[in-house]
Amino acid sequence: MADALFHVDFAGPLVSLQDAGRPGHMRFGVPSSGGMDRKALALANLALGNPAGAPVIEVSLGGLRMTCTEGTVSLAVTGGAFVVEAGARKLASWHVVTLTAGETLVIRPGHWGAWAYVAFAGALDCPRWLGSASTHAGSGLGGGVVKSGQTLRIIDAQTRPERDLPLPVTCRPRQKLHVVMGPQDRCFPAETLETFRAGPWQVTAQGDRMGMRLKGPKLELGDALSIPSEPILRGSVQVAGDGVPTLLMADHQTTGGYPKIATVLDDDTDGFAQLRAGDPLELVVLTPAEAATLARFRKDRWAEYLARRAEAQA
Amino acid sequence: MTPTPETPRLTPVADHALLVEFAEALDDTAHAAVLRLDHALSTHPAPGLREAVPAFVNLLVEFDPALTDHAAIGAHVTSLLGASGAEASAPVTHEIGICYEAPFARDLPEVAMKLGLSEEAVINAHLAGDYRVYLYGFAPGYAYMAGVRPELRMDRKPAPVRGVAAGSVIVAGAQCLITTLTMPTGWWILGRSPAKILTGAEDRPFLFDVGDQVRFKRLSLAEYEAQNG
């Protein structure tokens, strides 16, 4: 089978290769990494008949431009509402398109969303670390950051019919975040907890794959300034000494000494990743049991959706 | 209630984790309890457990909420804590080479001056430490070792220094670590180690386990170069 080659003409900052992530190594300082929006990543792959967790390109607001220099291959673009130019065609994300040698693919921000995913019909050739192609931004370990000038190879490149992909409601940006307070909520004065719940909060431009700072009222720390370093999760909301909360994401540090005022439901963090600076947030506080119930419900619904998509495609 | 090694506090974290705290401040008894529970969970994993992350005085148990919940994981943890004879896994002792020569020991002169010791005395004090890996954090392979001797303990620098090379041996307070990435650090740079904490080996990708002991051995520049080859 023939390969397809792409020359990366331009890659914005934070464009990297990602897959389903490498869970299970937090005890060694390694976060899972993987897609900022894991659902959109999975749907890009499934649209082409790939395994849900196959390596893809994660495109940031910085955008991506690359030219097919050899072969023909279909690709699927999902994620935020990015503009997709494929050769002479001007499309949007949530499409399967086919590119052939000489044609250029341009992906740039559209009217909403912060991350887009490009999956290929074929295998994206890239290094793996601990069994995963997900790039850990701080170290560059994994598939790697995509850089202008580099060549990407799609092994066993194939084509699929060009088509629109449905954008499920689950993959819209999520401004309403379900949180469970703590685990260090007791370190904060009661007024600070109330201030946190009430907001208002906004997404800021100060963010990357490690975490995103939120803008809102100052959170007074009381005497909670420093705790012995303890484990952190994707979704932890840590409050630094300046009283500003940061929502930790895919490449989060695995331990840290800032107190965590709350933790966002894991399933809400994908949609959160698709928000842009200035977007308002609404926090809904749940008990841990309510959060676990909601997580199970969401997980079942998502599995049903994936099964229906697979059926529709078959 | 303040948690203790005998009566830990179990705090649910979001929909998919439970934090087991044995103390609120640094405490060796609490850390020993963390290592015992970590070992017990590895030999008797709860259904639905995804991973356990040990830290100084607490351990995070992350689970699949589709398969289990906070209460079931909490009950499992409590039963393991109550089981008699729970032990930590036997710590391995690693001998790790460090080269304290000038190209690698950029802070040695300043540290010696600050502490009122000769450079040789600083090196000997560092070699004499009783090091143990307490936790990983910050970045892949950053193994935080406690055990720096009291005469060598310093606050970190007021501002971090950029571009500190991977393999640097750095200290602050009671802690010491060998960096795995070129990164900024506010810790004091005493030397360079050829040891690869990220081993690149598939069966054992990380050199140390939490709880392992480390002894440092002094390397000449030539020995460093030979081992770093």
Interchain CB contact of A235 with B (< 8 Å):
yes
Q: What pLDDT score does A2 carry?
A: 94
Interchain CB contact of A29 with B (< 8 Å):
yes
Chain B residues touching A30 at Cβ < 8 A: 140-141
Which of A182, A254, A266 is closest, CB to CB, to B53?
A254
What contacts A307, CB < 8 A, 6 or more positions away?
none
DSSP notation for A2-62: --EEEEEEEE-TT-EEE-S--TT-GGGT------SSHHHHHHHHHTTT--TT--EEEE-TT
Chain A residues touching B139 at Cβ < 8 A: 29, 138-139, 253
Chain B residues touching A237 at Cβ < 8 A: none
Which of B26, B55, B140 is closest, CB to CB, to A255?
B55
Which of A26, A139, A291 is closest, CB to CB, to B51?
A26
Q: What pLDDT score does B82 carry?
A: 82
- Tokens 């850390």: give the residue: B31
Which fold, B9-82? Gyrase A; domain 2 (3.30.1360)
Q: Enumerate domains of chain A plus CATH numbers.
A: 4-170 (no CATH), 176-302 (2.40.100.10)
Please tell me the distance from the alpha carbon of residue A178 to that of residue A203, in angstroms, as a whole number.
16
B/e letters for A193-204, b = 16+ CB within 10 Å, e = fewer, are bebbeeeebebb
Which of A30, A227, A299 is closest, CB to CB, to B66?
A299
- Tokens 């300046």: give the residue: A242
Q: What pLDDT score does B90 carry?
A: 82
Q: Is B9-82's fold the same as B93-227's?
A: no
- Tokens 């900052």: give the residue: A13
Interchain CB contact of B58 with A (< 8 Å):
yes
Shortest Cα distance, chain A CAs vs residue B106, angstroms = 23
Say what the pTM is.
0.95
pLDDT tens per residue, range B99-108: 999 999 999 9
Q: What does the DSSP 8-state code read for residue B173?
A: T
CA A200 to mean position of chain CA atoms: 24
User: Rounded to 5, what percent of chain A is helix, strand, coil?
Assistant: 20, 35, 45
Nearest CA in chain A to B16: A292
Read off the pLDDT of each residue in B197-213 and give the average, rounded to a whole number.
Answer: 94
Q: How far is CA A37 from CA A45, A134, B80, in A?
A: 13, 13, 36
Q: What does the DSSP 8-state code read for residue B27?
A: -
Pairing of strands A176-181, A280-285: parallel
Chain B residues touching A288 at Cβ < 8 A: 12-15, 70
Q: What pLDDT score does B133 carry?
A: 96
CB distance A231–B65 less than 8 Å? no
B/e letters for A300-313, b = 16+ CB within 10 Å, e = fewer, are eeeeebbeebeeee
Q: What pLDDT score does B138 carry?
A: 86
Which of B14, B50, B140 is closest, CB to CB, to A180?
B14
All residue ranges of chain A with pLDDT < 50 are none
Cβ–Cβ under 8 Å, residues A47 and A120: no
* Interface A:B, Cβ pairs < 8 A: 137
Please tell me the distance from the alpha carbon of residue B164 to that of residue B104, in angstroms, as a whole number.
10
**β-bridge mates for residue B54, sequence order:** B59
Which of B51, B57, B183 is closest, CB to CB, to A27?
B51
Tell me, letter by letter, the H, E, C secondary structure of A98-164.
EEECCCEEEEEEEEEEEEEEEEECCEECCCCECCECCCCCCCCCCCCECCCCCEEEEECCCCCCCEE
- Tokens 């998502």: give the residue: A302
Shortest Cα distance, chain B CAs vs residue A225, angstroms = 13
CB distance B69–A289 less than 8 Å? yes
Tell me which residues of chain A, numbers 107 to 136, contact chain B at a CB-CB cutoff of 8 Å: 130, 136
Q: CATH assignment of B93-227?
A: 2.40.100.10
Q: What pLDDT score does A313 carry?
A: 75
Q: What pLDDT score does B189 carry?
A: 97
Closest to B88 (Cα-Cα) out of B37, B48, B50:
B37
Which percentage of chain A shows pLDDT scores above 90? Answer: 90
Structure tokens at A108: 């740039």
Question: pLDDT category, B85, cuts 50, 70, 90?
Answer: low
Share the mean pLDDT of chain B.
Answer: 94
Shortest Cα distance, chain A CAs vs residue B117, angstroms = 30
Q: What pLDDT score does A226 carry?
A: 63
Please tell me the distance from the alpha carbon of residue B176 to that of residue B181, in angstroms, as a whole number.
15
Please tell me the distance from the alpha carbon of residue B143 to that of residue B136, in angstroms, as a whole number.
4
Shortest Cα distance, chain A CAs vs residue B118, angstroms = 33
Structure tokens at A17: 């290769």
pLDDT tens per residue, range B19-43: 999 999 888 999 999 999 999 999 9
> Where are the domains positioned within chain B?
9-82, 93-227
Assign A297 to helix, strand or coil. helix
Question: pLDDT category, B91, cuts 50, 70, 90?
Answer: confident
